[in-house]
Structure formats: C-alpha cells, structure tokens
Amino acid sequence: MIKITSIEQIPQLQYNNKSLPTIDAIPLTYELLCLIIEQLPGYVYWKDIYSRYRGGNKNFIKAAGFDTLEQLNGKFDHELIWKNKANEFIKIDHQIMNKGNIVTTIDGVEVKSNKTGFSQMSFIQTTKQLILDKHGNRYILGYATEVESPWFKS
C-alpha cells in the first residue's frame, strides 16, 4: 500500500515500475462522466432555467415514470407523477436560480406496491443547487435519496 502524505507525491507514483499519469493527464470524458452518474445509488437529475428536466440517471428516469432519458427530457414537474407537488418544487427552483442557495428538503411520498396493492410512506431527502456551465448558463442539479422518517422511528 502506498501512503501519500503530500500532493507533490502524486506525479511520482509508480505501479509495476511504470509511472502513473497525474490527475491532470487523465481526461474526464463525457462517457466516463455518464457512467459515474449512472452508478450513483440515489436519484440524480438536472433542470434548465425554466425548470425543464434535461437529464438524470437511470434511477431518476425510472422514478419519474419513464424508460429513457429522451422521454424525460424537456418535461416539467406538472407532467410527472409528482404533479401535485410541482408548484412547491418550482418555487424552490426559482429560489435557487435567483439566490444561488443550496436547498435540502425531506418529503413524504406515498408509494404503492405493484405486488400487494398496498401503499406505504417513503421519505425522500433532496438537495438542489445551482450549477453553471462554461458559458455561464444556469442549471439546477438535484440529488435525492430515500431516508428513514425524520419524525417517526419504528
């Protein structure tokens, strides 16, 4: 095991007597970035300044009721299965766009089982923040995970 004690050591790292590339020498390709996002365990998505969905990982696409990114792209919250909370979500989006805040919420979501037909309450923690691309275009990046109820413990 190699122990790194300073950033200056990184370029000198070797494996089987071969120098390893520095972080700057490893290109972050679009394909690699997509693969990383797909492997995240939660729900990742991004929206444009009009609160239209522009992307997401497979978990989010499925949770939104779609099979492909193309089906999700350009949709608004009012068009998705959580349309009853759309106004609340869009209000938060506008707050983030105007003030640059990072906002974290916990929402109760009723989930109906396809197998049993019974519903149960799940709790979703969502963090949204403003991101800018290299041209200064604004987007909202969202990440959501299921959490234990913050109010009721079994």
Residue 93 and residue 128: Cα distance in Å, rounded?
8
Asked whether residue 23 is domain-assigned, the answer is no
Q: Do residues 101 and 117 make contact, with C-beta atoms less than 8 angstroms apart? A: no
> Is 125 part of a structural domain of the chain?
yes
Residues of the chain with pLDDT under 70: 1-28, 110-119, 149-154
140 belongs to a structural domain? yes
**Nearest 10 degrees: Cα torsion 1, 37, 145, 111:** -140
pLDDT at 77: 95
Segments forming the whole domain that contains residue 79:
32-147
- How far does the chain reach from its first CA to its final CA, in angstroms? 43
Q: Tell whether 18 is covered by a domain.
A: no
Structure confidence at residue 11 (pLDDT):
46
**Does this model's pTM top 0.75?**
no
Please count the structural domains in the chain.
1
3-state secondary structure the chain: CCCCCCHHHHHHCEECCEECCCHHHCCCCHHHHHHHHHHCCCEEEEECCCCCEEEECHHHHHHCCCCCHHHHCCCCHHHCCCHHHHHHHHHHHHHHHHHCCCEEEEEEEEEECCCCCCEEEEEEEEEEEEEECCCCCEEEEEEEEEECCCCCCC
The enclosing domain of 46 has a CATH number of: 3.30.450.20
- Which pLDDT value is given to residue 37? 87
Q: pLDDT by residue (tens digit) across 84-104?
A: 999 999 999 999 999 988 999
Is 89 within the bounds of a domain? Answer: yes
Question: For residue 42, what are the CA distances in angstroms to 13, 60, 95?
Answer: 33, 8, 23
Within its chain, how far is the Cα of 132 from the centroid?
15
